Structure 1
Amino acid sequence: MGHDVLLEMKNICKEFPGVKALDNVSLTVRRGTVHALMGENGAGKSTLMKCLFGMYAKNSGSIYLEGKEINFKSSKEALDNGVAMVHQELNQALKRNVMDNIWLGRYPKIGGVMVNEKKIYNDTKALFEELEVEVDPRRIMSTMPVSQRQMVEIAKAVSFNSKVIVFDEPTSSLTEEEVEHLFKIINMLRDRGVGIIYISHKMAEILRISDDITVMRDGTWVATRPASEMTMDEIIRLMVGRELTSQFPPKTNKPGEVSLEVDNLTAQYSLLKDVSFKVRKGEIVGLAGLDGSGRTETLENIFGVATRKSGTIKLNGKECFNRNSRESIKNGFALLTEERRATGIFGILNIRENTVISSLKKHKKKGIYLSEKSMRVDTQWSIDAMRTKTPTQETKIRSLSGGNQQKVILGRWLLTEPEVLLLDEPTRGIDVGAKYEIYQLILDLANKGKVVMVVSSEMPELLGICDRILVMSGGRLAGEVDAQNTTQEEIMTLAAKYV
């Protein structure tokens, strides 16, 4: 490698219990270039970056910055050594103003107070002028839109004289104009010799801004090539490129008559617009699309946890208003959320409490007491059906692995005996064995004539378990395909339709 190598990650391995998250991954970033890091969700991109920043300790491999071996123990240490990250989830002190967020911890304090307000203000102003960022340094962070907060984060990285800056999905919440501004800043940083790692799903963007592209798949390195030699189809082939084996149970469900009808679903606070479709009893319908395409929003609007602007939902010919989750559960709907740690599990409660919490009505005796015995029976059913690995029903749910937490929540919803099961990334972060069991459960439900809708970022999963796949793009329905007679390429092409 030439002298222009800035950052080199060599043969990085990272294992979590039962999962090899990174298997010998290498990445070389040259000075003054934009290096795109691509791969499906779960390919290991974020894990690799977390190893760079010391958020995860790698199991083996080495990292060199300007030829010197580094081993950061925290993202602060990384920042101090010139390696910065602009996150999707911005970690900012929202109650403080802009300049505090940029200089926090770097100016001497007297008596615990920030020193020389004026100097800090002028330094911030100068930094913003250089980047053509129009933000008032005294503005409180929480009062600004995400795009401006992101600019503050970039300015902060620049103020540390960072040599390497990682951008993680930086445009997912930006308008076209803001994207143009971001690219201008990235090109300016590149011209100064900064090495930029750019993680994104958006192909057109990647091809426009990158010098080099590295593709990862299933925790391994697949290819690194000059962007000028790559096409969208080529990237898709590298990202996807695997043959499907029997990771899925045989399809036994036989769809019947139409059961769920959704008409012109439009959301109040997201880009979801005019989505209409029908699902039959016993049918498994997938929702495909890139992050931010409106897949999750579709489920949330049906279930009434997101605000609908307009549209109607009918189940077996009867209109369901589903104004909130309680009403939706009563109408026979269940939603398994993707963010299960935040919205799905009650971490301080045990397995039994987490299992029966949505179906307590069934366990009421004489309308007041909850029957221990019937709750125990249902919980045992759930543990057995899901093959949940837990010492006892009294174990606190947060001590289980992600896959087992997922099974508890799936069990919780099945006990409400829903007619319509909405699943958002039901197998994210789960090992292959547990995935198969969850697929089997989904099929069993379809065999009982239930309506099942599945959002997944893993195409093979959708192709393996669904009858039909609806493809979302930019908040709209871009098309639908028959899961048995389609290709990943066809789905990807539809997914890019309105991006």
Structure 2
Amino acid sequence: MSESYLRFDGISVEFPGVRALDNVSFEAHAGEVHALMGENGAGKSTLLKVLSGVNKVTAGALWINGERHVFANEREALAQGIAIIYQELTLSPNLSVAENLLLGQLPQKNGFIDRRTMRESAISVLRDLGEQGIDPATKVRDLSIGQQQMIEIGRALLRNARIIAFDEPTSSLSVQEIRNLKRIVQRLRDEGKVVLYVTHRMDEVFEMCDAITVFRDGKHISTHPTLEHIDHDLLVSEMVGREIADVYGYRSREHGGAVLEVKDLKGPGVRVPASFEVRQGEVFGLFGLVGAGRSELLRLVCGAVSAEEGAVHFKGEACQFASPREAIYAGIAMCPEDRKSQGIFAIASVADNINISCRRFFSRWKVFRNATREKDNAQDYIRRLRIKTPGPETRIGTLSGGNQQKAILARWLSEDIDVFVMDEPTRGIDVGARRDIYSLLYDLAEQGKSVVVISSDLAEVSSICDRIGVMRDGEMVDIVPRDQATPERLLGLALPA
């Protein structure tokens, strides 16, 4: 193996009330895909922000190709050939695909932007990404989350960086896009680049990566320079500090009658009228590839989008929710997939994000806020869901994605909800937190609540759900009971004919 190209030497980072990184040291080599693993809040994203110049170190040094560096900002890191593709996207939604790809390096001719060259460059990189179907003139806001993720990756490729870091890159991608990403990562490795790869998906690590570094609570636990003597169980125990035999931990239970009945519902994203029911005490899954219409169907149910035809019955009564607010007040709440733009209020505190909907229950005459009860409620759920935060007043935008997801769950647990709709509930969440969330979903079902899990994770839906509705190209093609929900059958139904 070549000499180390990138070396972290005793890196420590402190924020008010928390030590995010504590004396982290390891190295990565040119021509290597190096996995960074650990629970949410373990320090992985903080380390990437040190590398990109966003976070300042309080101790330690960063060495690149034998030279010591201290980056004051992201521009300095970019100049040294560093590109970071974050899980939470940094695109400009109102600019075109081409403008986003070349932002910061727009081609010019006679003092004006050279639109022809810009378009040609965009077409070339879109071809490399396997996204030839995207028009470079399309506004980024009109793309799917998965397509936006690929544009973020394309921007890094255009910078010709020597060090490229991916933060949960496949969490929003379709099967074909994941294949394209794996091809791109292989090419970068073959070109001698340093690739840092943050993921919670074990199969990706063992398929794509050459080395693994494990973090826990801001500390460097281990670095495995090869995968020769490492397996799933050892990795999990190093990440969480304990053994987890079965992350899914399915618990069977009795089901009652139908609580939610959807009959011939059709609307944007759902081209064929769909029908299904969710029973009391049931965990009902919706599986399909990205773009199959799973989220769109439940957005029709919850009033986020108006249905063109069909009916929804909730607790035996016909309902036509005009907004998600009406659905929440009735007893149906949805945790969206895109937590950054649809789930959290990034500049507000963790406590405010948890209490934003339920505070009406605590206020006097629904006019005056009861700060004490709100604080108690936030602290209670921070403890129960093990949300890693310095305190309830910490700005939620500074938390890891997994801890933001837990805060959104806490928001709806604070409400009087009968049907919980979870859209990709474990996206970007570590193995330990996944087990906690699955256990929470079983708890809700055992309390007589109903849970709908929308997921593109085949192992997840087949392991935690009692029945699974499979969608393909805007159509509900089948509903499969748990004892028949083999991965082969579900994937066969979900794939295009």
- Shorter-chain TM-score: what band? 0.5 to 0.7
C-alpha separation in 2, matches of 1:474 and 1:216: 36
Letter in 2 for 1:32: G
Q: Over residues 296-351 of structure 1, what are the superposed CA-to-partner deviations in whole Å (9 max), with x where a residue is unaligned?
A: 77865543335778987544344544453143135332345576674456768998
Q: What corresponds to 1:34 in structure 2? A: 33
Check 1:68–1:472 CA distance in 2 against 1; reply closer, same or farther (3 A cut): farther
Q: How do residues 471-490 of structure 1 correspond to structure 2 at under 5 angstroms?
A: none
Q: Secondary structure at the match of 2:8?
A: strand
Relative to the length of structure 1, the TM-score reads 0.61
Q: What corresponds to 1:102 in structure 2? A: 102
Q: What corresponds to 2:386 in structure 1? A: none
C-alpha separation in 2, matches of 1:311 and 1:226: 55
Q: Secondary structure at the match of 2:102?
A: helix
C-alpha separation in 2, matches of 1:478 and 1:291: 15
Q: Over residues 208-234 of structure 1, what are the superposed CA-to-partner deviations in whole Å (9 max), with x where a residue is unaligned?
A: 4x341425364454553535x489xx3
Comparing 152-161 with 319-328, which one deviates more in the overlay? 152-161
Taking only the aligned residue pairs, the percentage that are identical comes to 27
Q: How do residues 201-280 of structure 1 correspond to structure 2 at under 5 angstroms?
A: 206-208=205-207, 210-214=208-212, 216=214, 218-219=216-217, 220-226=220-226, 229=228, 234-235=231-232, 238-239=235-236, 242-243=242-243, 259-260=259-260, 268-269=268-269, 278-280=278-280
Letter in 1 for 2:195: I
Equivalent pairs counted in the alignment come to 456
8 Å contact 1:15–1:21 — kept in the other structure?
Answer: yes
Comparing 173-182 with 56-65, which one deviates more in the overlay? 173-182
Relative to the length of structure 2, the TM-score reads 0.61
8 Å contact 1:53–1:73 — kept in the other structure?
Answer: no
Check 1:407–1:474 CA distance in 2 against 1; reply closer, same or farther (3 A cut): closer
Letter in 1 for 2:226: P
Larger radius of gyration: 1
Letter in 1 for 2:91: N
Q: What corresponds to 1:77 in structure 2? A: 76
Please report how far the alpha carbon of residue 239 of structure 1 lies from its aligned counterpart in structure 2 after TM superposition.
3.6
Comparing 258-267 with 184-193, which one deviates more in the overlay? 258-267
Please report how far the alpha carbon of residue 117 of structure 1 lies from its aligned counterpart in structure 2 after TM superposition.
5.5
Q: How do residues 87-486 of structure 1 correspond to structure 2 at under 5 angstroms?
A: 87-88=86-87, 89-92=89-92, 94-95=94-95, 98=98, 101-102=101-102, 104=104, 115=110, 125=120, 133=128, 139=137, 142=140, 145=143, 154=153, 156-172=155-171, 178-200=177-199, 206-208=205-207, 210-214=208-212, 216=214, 218-219=216-217, 220-226=220-226, 229=228, 234-235=231-232, 238-239=235-236, 242-243=242-243, 259-260=259-260, 268-269=268-269, 278-280=278-280, 283=281, 285=283, 300=299, 302-305=301-304, 314-322=313-321, 324-335=323-334, 342-343=341-342, 373-376=365-368, 381-387=373-379, 400-402=394-396, 417-422=416-421, 450-451=449-450
C-alpha separation in 2, matches of 1:131 and 1:74: 28
C-alpha separation in 2, matches of 1:26 and 1:311: 58
C-alpha separation in 1, matches of 2:422 and 2:66: 47
8 Å contact 1:53–1:74 — kept in the other structure?
Answer: yes
Q: What corresponds to 1:53 in structure 2? A: 52
C-alpha separation in 1, matches of 2:193 and 2:143: 27
Check 1:243–1:184 CA distance in 2 against 1; reply closer, same or farther (3 A cut): closer
Alignment gaps of 5+ in structure 1: 108-112, 246-250, 364-370, 390-396, 483-489
Please report how far the alpha carbon of residue 161 of structure 1 lies from its aligned counterpart in structure 2 after TM superposition.
3.7
Letter in 2 for 1:63: L
C-alpha separation in 2, matches of 1:135 and 1:297: 22
Please report how far the alpha carbon of residue 54 of structure 1 lies from its aligned counterpart in structure 2 after TM superposition.
2.2
C-alpha separation in 1, matches of 2:332 and 2:19: 36
Check 1:101–1:58 CA distance in 2 against 1; reply closer, same or farther (3 A cut): same
Please report how far the alpha carbon of residue 94 of structure 1 lies from its aligned counterpart in structure 2 after TM superposition.
4.4
Q: What corresponds to 2:387 in structure 1? A: none
Check 1:377–1:155 CA distance in 2 against 1; reply closer, same or farther (3 A cut): closer
8 Å contact 2:265–2:309 — kept in the other structure?
Answer: yes
C-alpha separation in 1, matches of 2:155 and 2:409: 42
Comparing 58-67 with 285-294, which one deviates more in the overlay? 285-294
Letter in 2 for 1:104: G
Q: What corresponds to 1:392 in structure 2? A: none
Alignment gaps of 5+ in structure 2: 246-250, 382-390
C-alpha separation in 2, matches of 1:19 and 1:471: 42
Please report how far the alpha carbon of residue 172 of structure 1 lies from its aligned counterpart in structure 2 after TM superposition.
4.9
C-alpha separation in 1, matches of 2:134 and 2:341: 33
C-alpha separation in 2, matches of 1:284 and 1:68: 58
Check 1:330–1:188 CA distance in 2 against 1; reply closer, same or farther (3 A cut): closer
Please report how far the alpha carbon of residue 66 of structure 1 lies from its aligned counterpart in structure 2 after TM superposition.
0.8
Q: Over residues 376-397 of structure 1, what are the superposed CA-to-partner deviations in whole Å (9 max), with x where a residue is unaligned?
A: 48765544455479xxxxxxx9
8 Å contact 2:12–2:57 — kept in the other structure?
Answer: yes
C-alpha separation in 2, matches of 1:332 and 1:85: 41
Please report how far the alpha carbon of residue 150 of structure 1 lies from its aligned counterpart in structure 2 after TM superposition.
6.1
8 Å contact 1:82–1:162 — kept in the other structure?
Answer: yes
